[in-house]
Amino acid sequence: GAVVSQHPSRVICKSGTSVKIECRSLDFQATTMFWYRQFPKQSLMLMATSNEGSKATYEQGVEKDKFLINHASLTLSTLTVTSAHPEDSSFYICSAAPEGRVLQMTQYFGPGTRLLVL
Amino acid sequence: GDSVTQMEGPVTLSEEAFLTINCTYTATGYPSLFWYVQYPGEGLQLLLKATKADDKGSNKGFEATYRKETTSFHLEKGSVQVSDSAVYFCALSDRRYALNFGKGTSLLVTP
């Protein structure tokens, strides 16, 4: 089946530093990737939608200058949390929609990245 | 805006018991509805989906029927197994094909 990986699986960083999270589709090409954020005991909240080769579309309330998304290829999207602060600590999850199957609403999820900002 | 409400957990059941996890939604238009499952240490996996009213999604013994009149998409399984222990998320898709999730319901099945 389709596999999506995320790296790193967990990261601890100091306040003020930047952290990059990678999302890769391993055996398919993804035209569209989504980034979600999950707080403890809460649902996944969509942060942004990224399409290969174009700028990401951010949800209302998500700072695009803080959460930089790059979808440079059909198999890789990156989320960079710039100048991270403790309130950015969360579980970040990506999903990827296979090329040509977005309309079928098929998405495959990565295992998530746990970010802890000290 | 669109939203999904699902029953709070955790739910604890004995093996072979009947499972129901309630899910209701609010949406403009006619969304597609999904159930995702997250096993410990793994990513979300699509369990089943329904794209229009009265559709029934089914997979691995789980079923859910898209009820437009009650805006519901309850998940059911006739006989749960220990291996079904996981967190279950109800979700709907919006016009942009992104997913709008409920808070998740943790299920623990004991032998």
A37 within 8 A of A50, measured Cβ to Cβ: no
Q: Which residues of A touch B34 (CB under 8 A)?
A: 105
* Separation CA A72–CA B21 (nearest Å): 40
Contact B99 A4 (CB under 8 A): no
Residue type, A50: S
* Separation CA A95–CA B53 (nearest Å): 26
Q: Is B15 helix (H, G, I), strand (E, B) or coil?
A: coil
pLDDT in tens, A9-45: 999 999 999 999 999 999 889 888 999 999 877 788 9
Find, in chain A, the residue whose alpha carbon is nearest to that of B36.
A109
pLDDT of residue A100: 67
Query: Edge-to-edge strands of the sheet including A76-81?
Result: A4-7, A19-25, A76-81, A67-73
- Which among A4, A44, A102 has CB closest to B101? A44
Chain B nearest-CA distance from A88, in A, is 19
pLDDT of residue A103: 56
Q: Which residues of A touch B98 (CB under 8 A)?
A: 34, 46, 49
Q: Which residues of A touch B102 (CB under 8 A)?
A: 43
* Separation CA A53–CA B46 (nearest Å): 27
Contact B43 A97 (CB under 8 A): no
* Separation CA A49–CA A89 (nearest Å): 20
Residues of chain B with a CB closer than 8 angstroms to some CB in chain A: 4, 32, 34, 36, 41-46, 49, 51, 89, 93, 96-104
pLDDT of residue A113: 96
Query: Mutating which of B25, B44, B52, B95 best tests the A interface, going by the most A Cβ atoms within 10 A?
Result: B44
pLDDT in tens, A74-115: 999 999 999 999 999 999 999 998 876 555 567 889 999 999
Q: Which residues of B touch A45 (CB under 8 A)?
A: 101
pLDDT in tens, B26-76: 998 889 999 999 988 788 899 999 988 999 999 999 999 999 999 999 999
